[in-house]
Amino acid sequence: MSIEVHTPARPCRPYAKRWAALAVVLGAEAMDLLDASIMAVSAPTIRDDLGLGMSSVQWLVAGYSLAMAVGLITGGRLGDIFGRKRMFLVGVLGFVLASLLCASAPSEEVLIASRVLQGLAGAVMLPQGFGLIKEMFPPKELVKALAMFGPVMGVSAVCGPILAGLLIDLDLFGSGWRASFLVTLPVGVLTLVAAVRLLPSGAAARETGRATTRPRLDLPGTLLAGTGSLLVVFPFVQGGERGWPDWTFVMLGAGLAVFGVFALRIRRATSPLVAPSLFRKRAYTGGLLIAVMFSGLVAAFALILNLLTQTELGYSPTEAGLAIAPVSVGIVIGSICGFRFARRIGRRTLHLGLFVTGVGLVTLFALLPEPAESAWRFVPGVLIVGLGMGLMIAPLFDFILAGVDDHEVGSASGVLNAVQQLGSAVGVAVLGTLFITGSFGTATVAMGVALALTFGLVFLLPPRTRREAH
C-alpha cells in the first residue's frame, strides 16, 4: 500500500531552475531515441561484421525492449524510494557505460548483453524525467513543458538514422558500426554533468509543496513479470530459425502461466506493482492490447525496412538512413495533426491513423524499387506510413487513460509504457521472423492483419480523450 507523505502547508513555489532542468531531461530522452533509431540502421552491418544469425539481430532490438519493459514496471518506484535525481543520475550513467560496452563488444553475446543493460538503464532513467517535470512545474506551465518533448523526439528520430548511416560509411579510424554507439556519449556526458548541477534534490522538490509517494518495491512481482515476458518473447525470436520445435510452445504456455501467477500476486500484495482494479476496466485492457500490437508494428517496421534496404536492395547505410528518414518526418507531422483531430473527431482519429498506415504499406509495397533503382521510390510509401503512425501515436495514451480514475493514472501510465516496450519486443520477434523466413510481402500482409485487428480494438476505447473527459 502506498503511503502519501505531505509536507507542512506552505505556498507552492516553482523550482527556480526548472527550464534549465527541463533541457537536462530532454537530453536523456534524445539519447534514448537516438540510440533506438541508430540501432535499426546499424543492425545489417553488425550482422555482417560479427557473423550474426538473424535471431541474434532480432535480439539486438528485442533484448533492449524486453529489458526496458521489465524495468519500467519498477523504474518509477525506485525514484519514489531513493529519490528521482539520484536514480536519474544512475540511469544516465548506466546508459553511457552500456553504450561504451556496445561500441567495444568483441562478440554477439557481449553486444546483446550490453543492449539489455542499456534497456535496464533507460528504464531507470526515463520515468524519473517525467516525475521531475511534474514536481518542478506548476500546473499552468506543465502543458508547455511537456509540449517540448515533441520537437526533441522528432529531431532525434529524423537525425538518428542519417547520422548512423554516415558514421558507418565514413568508417572513422576503422570503427565501422561501433562509431554509431558512440553518438550518444557526448549527449550522455553533458546530460550527466548538467543533471548534477541543475536537477532539484529531494528537498528542493518538496519545497514546491507537492506530495511524494514512498511505496515498497514488490520484488516477487517484478521477478514474475520479467520471467513471464522472457518466456513469451524467447520462443518467437528463436522458434522460426530452429523450425518451431516443441519446446517453443512449452515456453509460451509456461509464460502465460507465469503471467497468471503474476495476476494473482497483484491482487494479494500489500504494495502491488499494478493497481488490480485497472484490469476490471474493459477500455483499459483493450488499450493495452492496442499498445502491444501497434508498438510491435512500429518497431518491427523500422528493423524490417533497414534489413530490406541494406541486405536485399544493396543500399549503403547512408542511403538506407535517407530512404527511411521520411517515416520520422511523417510521424512528426502526423503527431501534430493527431492532437488537433482528437479534439474534433475523437476516437475516429485512431481509425484514421490506422487506415492511413495501411494505405502507406500498400503504397510502399507497390512502389518497392529494384536493387538498381533510386531510393526516392521509397519516399511516398514511408512518408504515408509515418503520417498514419503519427496520427495514432500522439493521442493514443490519452484515449486509453480516459476511462481510468484519477488515483489510478500513475499505475496505469507505468503499465502502459511497459506493455508498449513488451509489444516492441514481440513485434520484432514475430514480424521479423516472418520477413526473414518469408519475404517483405509476407511481413506486409501480417502487418495489415495487425492493423485490421487493432482497428477493431479501438472501438473498445472511450470516444473522447482523458483531458476532454475530465
Mean pLDDT of 159-166: 85
Q: Give the best-scoring range by mean pLDDT among 156-170, 212-226, 342-356.
A: 342-356
What's the full length of the chain, in residues? 470
Grid look-up 517525467 returns: 130
pLDDT recorded at residue 121: 94
Residues 120 and 211 in one domain: yes
pLDDT recorded at residue 151: 72
Q: What is the 3-state secondary structure (H, E, C) of 228-270?
A: HHHHHHHHHHHHCCCCCCHHHHHHHHHHHHHHHHHHHHHHHCC
The domain tally of the chain equals 3
Residues 247 and 313 in one domain: no
- 115-134: pLDDT as tens digits: 999 999 999 998 888 788 88
- 58-89: pLDDT as tens digits: 889 888 988 988 888 788 778 878 888 999 99
Q: How far apart are CA 210 and CA 228, in angstroms?
A: 36
pLDDT confidence tier of residue 467, bands split at 50, 70 and 90: low
pLDDT recorded at residue 116: 94
Residues 186 and 247 in one domain: no
3-state secondary structure (DSSP) of residue 405: coil
Residues 185 and 223 in one domain: no
More confident residue, 291 or 409: 291
Q: 177 and 45 in contact (C-beta within 8 Å)?
A: yes
Residues 65 and 197 in one domain: yes
Residues 230 and 155 in one domain: no
CATH of the domain at 156: 1.20.1250.20
- 223-279: pLDDT as tens digits: 898 898 889 888 888 887 777 889 999 999 999 999 999 888 888 877 777 778 888
Q: How far apart are CA 468 and CA 292, in angstroms?
A: 25
Q: Which helix (H) or strand (E) holds 297?
A: helix 282-307
Q: How far apart are CA 298 and CA 44, in angstroms?
A: 18
Residues 235 and 289 in one domain: no
Q: 236 and 299 in contact (C-beta within 8 Å)?
A: no
Q: Is the pLDDT score of 221 beyond 50?
A: yes
Residue 347: give the domain boundaries.
277-470
Residues 77 and 57 in one domain: yes
Other CB atoms within a 10 A radius of the CB of residue 280 amount to 9
Residues 224 and 326 in one domain: no
Q: How buried is 335 (Cβ within 10 angstroms: 0-12 exposed, 13-18 middle, 19+ buried)?
A: buried
pLDDT recorded at residue 378: 81
Q: What is the CA angle 46-418-212, rounded to 5?
A: 125
How far CA 109 is from CA of 34, 97, 106, 115, 462, in Å, comes to 23, 17, 9, 10, 45
Q: What is the DSSP letter of 371?
A: T
- 191-206: pLDDT as tens digits: 999 999 999 886 444 4
pLDDT confidence tier of residue 172, bands split at 50, 70 and 90: confident
Residues 349 and 458 in one domain: yes
Q: Is the pLDDT score of 11 beyond 70?
A: no
Q: Pick from 320, 301, 318: which is nearest to 309 by CA?
A: 320
Residues 223 and 212 in one domain: no
**Model pTM?**
0.83
Residues 288 and 389 in one domain: yes
Please report how many Cα atoms fall inside a 13 Å half-sphere around the Cα of residue 227, on the Cβ side: 15
More confident residue, 261 or 416: 261
- 14-62: pLDDT as tens digits: 778 888 999 999 999 888 888 888 888 888 899 888 888 878 888 898 8
